Amino acid sequence: MQLFAQDADTTWFVRLREGRVALLDQPDARTELQARAAGSASDIALALWGRLPFGICDVVGDERLLQALRVE
């Protein structure tokens, strides 16, 4: 997945595998991104904390993957 904070011009790449979350420096070139959320850093943080829906961001791909990143 890709999280893109447009106002900070910052991108994070995240991989979910076997129930684990990994923050990557760069995505694996062999792997296609399956989800992307772009918005303000604040909106992304609030969505990750479950305070706002990811729909507040520009979401492309499988939103269920983004939901898996939410803090419970």
The tally of domains found in the chain comes to 1
Structure pTM?
0.87
Residue-wise pLDDT tens digits, 23-36: 888 877 887 889 99
Task: Decide if 52 is inside a domain.
Answer: yes
Torsion of CA 21, 8, 28, 25, to 10 degrees: -70
Q: Which domain holds residue 15?
A: 2-67
Residue-wise pLDDT tens digits, 36-71: 999 999 999 999 999 999 999 999 999 999 999 998
Task: Decide if 72 is inside a domain.
Answer: no
Which 3 state secondary structure label does DSSP give 41? helix
What are the DSSP E strand ranges found in the chain?
A: 2-5, 10-17, 20-24, 35-39, 58-61
Residue-wise pLDDT tens digits, 2-16: 999 999 999 999 998
Task: Decide if 36 is inside a domain.
Answer: yes
